[in-house]
């Protein structure tokens, strides 16, 4: 076998439909486009979402929703995670840098501390925002909070 005699598998290829090659070809005349209408014309290209003149789906459905351009998005970190991180690394202060090094956030994320889990260690926590319940839990455990 040489590169010059490689052929596709039998039945895997079809001959192309040769359109507009005279009446004797069986595909002359209208060249398989039918009579009249936009699709029979040269230069026709169907618009995205066009449904033959019927009102398109994207125009039939009602508009809804709202995106607040001033939304501030926070990465949620629970106090249970702070507890486990402080135990694992023997920390008394947990800030944004400690969370970055542990791989919980990246450098561009803002952090909000939430109250899921339990906290028994007195930890000084530094974050961008705190829920009221998380703030209460940290202070009850003997720690302090600092908003950055």
pLDDT tens, 85-97? 999 999 999 999 9
| Backbone torsions φ then ψ of 60, nearest 5 degrees | -75, -30
Under DSSP, the state recorded for 53 is T
Decide if pLDDT at 59 tops 90.
yes
| Backbone torsions φ then ψ of 137, nearest 5 degrees | -65, -40
Confidence of residue 104 (pLDDT cuts 50, 70, 90): very high
pTM, two decimals, is 0.60
Mean pLDDT of 39-68: 93
Mean model confidence pLDDT for the chain: 94
| Backbone torsions φ then ψ of 91, nearest 5 degrees | -105, 150
Mean pLDDT of 108-112: 96
């Amino acid at each position: 076998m040489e590169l010059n005699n490689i052929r596709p598998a039998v039945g895997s290829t079809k001959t192309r439909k040769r359109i507009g090659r005279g009446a004797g070809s069986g595909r002359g005349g209208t060249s398989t486009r039918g009579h009249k209408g936009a699709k029979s014309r040269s230069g026709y290209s169907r618009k995205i979402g066009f449904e033959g003149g019927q009102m398109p789906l994207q125009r039939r459905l009602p508009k809804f929703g709202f995106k607040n351009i001033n939304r501030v998005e926070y990465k949620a970190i629970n106090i249970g995670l702070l507890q486990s991180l402080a135990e694992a690394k023997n920390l008394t202060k947990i800030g944004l840098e400690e969370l970055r090094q542990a791989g919980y956030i990246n450098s561009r994320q803002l952090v909000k501390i939430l109250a899921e889990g339990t906290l028994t260690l007195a930890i000084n926590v530094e974050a961008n925002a705190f829920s009221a319940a998380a703030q209460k839990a940290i202070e009850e455990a003997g720690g302090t909070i600092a908003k950055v």
